[in-house]
């Protein structure tokens, strides 16, 4: 009975995005083969807590390169260089206020975006996101990458690696 309840709780985990605004990025200018981008600002709520996101993604997800660059609690200007945008990367900045639930929140959000999410936020984006990269050099990142927290229910890695841009 307990195992059934645990399985039910796992399958019913919820991640919801409440979109505040969707706007054209850089006056809808095309960035190489990725085309125009859109900026989405939203509140995200997961079982672990809630945060805010800014996401910059190709308006047509088929033109993206399949990579989500996730910056956590970053500071400074959001957005990439024209060269980065021309590659078709999707960028997301997550602001999460509760450090004790940060790792669980990141796991739930990336799981939603890569594997289990619905169509509202990104259209059919999850069919096109194949890799998640953390743009962060914080202490928690290295441990997170090798821990069980970085796996979905099927054992697939959520975050694939980090970059030195953070």
Per the structure, the complete domain to which residue 116 belongs is given by 15-162
**CA–CA separation, 85 and 36 (whole Å):** 9
Backbone φ, ψ for residue 133 (5° rounding): -125, 130
Question: Do the beta carbons of residue 29 and residue 58 sit within 8 Å?
Answer: no
> Does some domain include residue 148?
yes
Residue 96, CB half-sphere, CA atoms under 13 Å: how many? 24
> Does some domain include residue 71?
yes
Helix axes 102-111, 139-146, angle to 10 degrees: 50
Query: What's the number of domains the chain is made of?
Result: 1
Spell out the per-residue pLDDT of the chain, length 166, in tens.
Answer: 433 433 434 455 688 889 899 999 999 999 999 999 999 999 999 999 999 999 999 988 888 888 989 998 877 677 778 888 999 999 999 999 899 999 999 999 999 888 877 655 555 556 667 888 888 767 888 888 888 999 999 999 999 887 645 4
CA distances from 95 to 65, 90, 145 (A): 24, 17, 19
């Amino acid at each position: 009975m307990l195992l059934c309840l645990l399985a039910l709780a796992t399958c019913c985990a919820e991640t919801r995005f409440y979109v505040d605004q969707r706007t054209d990025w850089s006056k809808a200018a095309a960035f190489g083969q990725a085309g125009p981008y859109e900026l989405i600002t939203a509140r995200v709520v997961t079982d672990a807590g809630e945060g805010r996101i800014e996401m910059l993604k190709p308006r047509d997800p088929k033109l993206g390169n399949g990579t989500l660059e996730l910056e956590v609690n970053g500071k400074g200007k959001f957005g990439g260089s024209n060269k980065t945008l021309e590659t078709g990367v999707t960028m997301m900045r997550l602001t999460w206020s509760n450090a004790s639930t940060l790792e669980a929140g990141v796991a739930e959000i990336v799981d939603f975006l890569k594997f289990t999410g619905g169509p509202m936020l990104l259209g059919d984006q999850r069919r096109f996101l194949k890799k998640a990269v953390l743009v962060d050099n914080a202490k928690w990142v290295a441990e997170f990458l090798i821990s069980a927290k970085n796996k979905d229910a099927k054992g697939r890695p959520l975050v694939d690696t980090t970059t030195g841009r953070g």
